[in-house]
Amino acid sequence: MNSDNLLRRRPAWPVWLLLAACVCWPFSHGLRAQTVTNAFEKDILAFEAADRAHPPEPGAILFAGDSQFTRWKTIHEDMPEFRIINRGFGGSKMSDLLHYTDRVVLPYKPRLIVVNEGGNDLHAGRTPEQVLADLQAFVTKVRAAWPEVPIIINGMTPSTARWSETGARLRYNEMLKAYVAAGKKLTYLDLFDKYLGPDGKPREELFVADKLHHSAAGYVVRMSVLRPALGPPDYPERRAAK
């Protein structure tokens, strides 16, 4: 092959490489997105298996959210007067709860929904505005199925482990409070200051060793704010935990 023919043929290689990249990039990008989306698939499948084994009755209070709910192992003992379904899946973001709404919220036909999400979103670099947009989409999705179901939305709490994110948490709380005030059958649960001591810093006794998740005392604080918002007890004959 002479040099003229070689020069004429050489540009074809980058074109083929470019075409291959164009074909492969959407697939690989989609695969990465699917991997992230499916990070909690095992948790969701476990919920569905438990529901098949013991189908829950409609009309319960549904707790949906992140690890603050997942780690609340004593929730039924702490509030025995309420019929509760706990569907917290640890590490989740508001975007994850939105993605799985059809599987971890709507099937239960709850009389009340309690949501705790957003902290992991901010920690991953998302903005308060993005978190609120996902929350609004979640409410819209729930309302399309159950227009009258009340939703309690927990404001973010402080923690020593993520104290550097305090500004973003407080900004989100203010935006959330304004959104809830303008909505229908929405309740904002104001928790932030309850976890602060006289020095304005998180109370150490309210957190476990990781300085992020609640201790038993931390859940007592949460209950003191949450319980009055849950309405009449489902089991009035049961003595409320103190």
Q: pLDDT tens digits for 126-163?
A: 999 999 999 999 999 999 999 999 999 999 999 999 99
pLDDT for the residue numbered 240: 58
| 58/34 Cα distance (integer angstroms) | 31
242 neighbors 82 (Cβ within 8 angstroms) = no
pLDDT for the residue numbered 209: 97
pLDDT for the residue numbered 11: 45
Beta-sheet strands, E only, within 95-242? 112-116, 151-154, 186-189
- Per-residue pLDDT of 9-43, as tens digits, reads 444 444 444 444 444 444 444 433 444 457 899 99
Containing domain of residue 153, as a range? 56-230
Q: Say if residue 82 is in the same domain as residue 158.
A: yes
| 176/195 Cα distance (integer angstroms) | 19
Q: Is residue 30 part of a domain?
A: yes
Q: Is residue 237 part of a domain?
A: no
In the chain, the N- to C-terminal Cα span, in Å, equals: 90
| 122/130 Cα distance (integer angstroms) | 9
Q: Is residue 43 part of a domain?
A: no
Q: What is the pTM of this model?
A: 0.84
Q: Is residue 194 part of a domain?
A: yes
- Per-residue pLDDT of 82-130, as tens digits, reads 999 999 999 999 999 999 999 999 999 999 999 999 999 999 999 999 9
Give residue 216's pLDDT band: very low, low, confident or very high (50, 70, 90).
very high
Long-range pairs, 26-31, Cβ under 8 A, ≥24: none
Region of 185 please: left (phi>0), alpha (psi -120 to 50) or beta: left
172 neighbors 153 (Cβ within 8 angstroms) = no
Q: Say if residue 30 is in the same domain as residue 109.
A: no
Residues forming beta bridges with residue 152, ordered by sequence position: 114, 187
Q: Say if residue 80 is in the same domain as residue 109.
A: yes
pLDDT for the residue numbered 38: 72
Q: Say if residue 191 is in the same domain as residue 137.
A: yes
Q: Say if residue 122 is in the same domain as residue 74.
A: yes
Q: Is residue 123 part of a domain?
A: yes
| 89/65 Cα distance (integer angstroms) | 6
| 99/132 Cα distance (integer angstroms) | 15
| 186/182 Cα distance (integer angstroms) | 9
CA distances 214 to 68, 77, 208, Å, are 7, 16, 6
Instruction: Work out the angle at residue 115's Cα, subtended by the Cα atoms of residues 109 and 118, and round it to the nearest 5 degrees.
Output: 140
Q: Is residue 195 part of a domain?
A: yes
Q: Say if residue 115 is in the same domain as residue 12.
A: no
pLDDT for the residue numbered 37: 55
Q: Say if residue 8 is in the same domain as residue 123.
A: no
Q: Is residue 23 part of a domain?
A: yes
Q: Can you give the length of the chain in residues?
A: 242
| 134/99 Cα distance (integer angstroms) | 10
Region of 238 please: left (phi>0), alpha (psi -120 to 50) or beta: beta
Q: Is residue 104 part of a domain?
A: yes
Q: Say if residue 149 is in the same domain as residue 80.
A: yes
Question: At residue 3, does pLDDT exceed 50?
Answer: no
Q: Say if residue 16 is in the same domain as residue 67.
A: no
For residue 163, how many other CB atoms are within 10 A of its CB? 12
Total domains present in the chain: 2
Q: Say if residue 185 is in the same domain as residue 133.
A: yes
Helix (H) or strand (E) holding 186, with range, is strand 186-189
Q: What is the 8-class DSSP label of residue 116?
A: E
Q: What CATH number does the domain containing 99 carry? A: 3.40.50.1110
Q: Say if residue 132 is in the same domain as residue 210.
A: yes
pLDDT for the residue numbered 6: 40
Q: Say if residue 26 is in the same domain as residue 76.
A: no
- Per-residue pLDDT of 166-213, as tens digits, reads 999 999 999 999 999 999 999 999 999 999 999 999 999 999 999 999
